[in-house]
């Protein structure tokens, strides 16, 4: 059931993104059509033109685009057996858990990512802002993220979700 919801959510996110891009293209086309119409009217007129009124084109602020990311979760909290610790958080065997850059992971702030995104912060739709301070063997690709949550139960309940992600 969760996979169906996350796929639906990702589908809706892609649909919203496509709609925004399409609206932007339509606005651009309309603006350029106005410019060409003004020029063609001037060229059809046989009289000498002394002044030309400038066509004003409103610039739209460039925003970083959202992309759909594959989001999973992990945690070091609530691990009981040595096998669980080795699988999920081997740094616990030598003391406190540590991320790839040596910091202690913070629940709902830290995430593992592809090394290309290390140190960057991302806003994840509906979840907030996370900073890439960790890597993982299964974390491959620019749009693949693994969130650090308070405990393993929350991480398992989170499952796998496709959400909109934006670098900030």
Q: Are the CB atoms for 74 and 112 separated by under 8 Å?
A: yes
> Within 13 Å of residue 54, how many CA atoms lie on the same side as its CB?
3
Q: Which comes out higher in pLDDT, residue 109 or 24?
A: 109
CATH 2.60.40.10 holds for 67-167 = no
Check whether 46 has a pLDDT greater than 60.
Answer: no
Q: β-strands 67-74, 144-148: how paired?
A: parallel
Domain ranges of the chain: 1-62, 67-167
Query: Of the candidates 67, 63, 62, which has an alpha carbon nearest to the alpha carbon of residue 125?
Result: 67
The greatest distance separating any two alpha carbons of the chain, rounded to the nearest whole angstrom, comes to 90
Instruction: List pLDDT tens digits, range 62-90.
Output: 456 788 999 999 888 888 888 888 877 77
pTM assigned to the model: 0.57
Residue 142 has pLDDT above 80, yes or no: yes
| Spatial contact of 20 and 60, defined as CB atoms under 8 Å apart | no
The neighbouring-strand residues paired with 69 are: 163
pLDDT at 49 (0 to 100)? 47
């Amino acid at each position: 059931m969760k996979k169906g919801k996350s796929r639906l959510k990702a589908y809706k996110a892609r649909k919203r993104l496509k709609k925004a891009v399409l609206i932007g293209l339509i606005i651009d086309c309309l603006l350029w059509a106005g410019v060409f119409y003004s020029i063609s009217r001037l060229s059809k007129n046989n009289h000498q033109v002394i002044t030309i009124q400038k066509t004003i084109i409103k610039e739209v602020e460039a925003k970083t685009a959202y992309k759909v990311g594959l989001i999973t979760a992990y945690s070091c909290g609530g691990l009981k057996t040595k096998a669980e610790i080795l699988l999920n958080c081997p740094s616990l065997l030598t003391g406190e858990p540590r991320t790839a850059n040596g910091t202690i992971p913070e629940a709902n702030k830290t995430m593992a990512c592809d090394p290309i995104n290390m140190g960057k912060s991302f806003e994840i739709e509906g979840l907030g802002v996370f900073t890439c301070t960790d890597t993982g063997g299964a974390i491959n690709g620019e749009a693949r993220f693994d969130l650090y949550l308070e405990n393993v139960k929350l991480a398992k309940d989170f499952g796998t979700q496709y959400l909109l992600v934006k670098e900030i």
